[in-house]
């Protein structure tokens, strides 16, 4: 926590991702909370799919590297397999 700031002030500094309403209570959800929730959900899904034999973990990692290289490529070189 920064000197002179309360936890409430720090919470205001985080960007709101969305607001949830449950049982009439409105709650702010930050982008950080959304990202963490998404990460945990994906990890759980991958574990279930791998355990049941629906995906090969090595193949998944290879595909993730491929997607990463496509997303973070040098902008001067268009990808080979994307329609223009």
Q: 30 near 19, Cβ under 8 Å?
A: no
Q: State the pairing for strand pair 16-22/25-30.
A: antiparallel
Residue 24: what pLDDT?
Answer: 93
- Per the prediction, the chain carries an average pLDDT of 82
Say whether pLDDT at 3 is over 60.
no
- At 10, the pLDDT band (50, 70, 90 cuts) reads low
């Amino acid at each position: 926590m920064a000197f002179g700031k309360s936890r409430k002030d720090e919470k205001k500094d985080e960007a709101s991702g969305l607001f949830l309403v449950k049982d009439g209570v409105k709650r702010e959800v930050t982008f950080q909370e959304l990202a963490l929730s998404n990460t945990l959900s994906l990890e759980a899904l991958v574990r279930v799919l791998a355990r049941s034999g629906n995906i090969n973990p090595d193949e998944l990692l290879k595909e993730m590297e491929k997607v990463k290289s496509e997303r973070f490529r040098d902008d001067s070189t268009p990808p080979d397999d994307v329609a223009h």
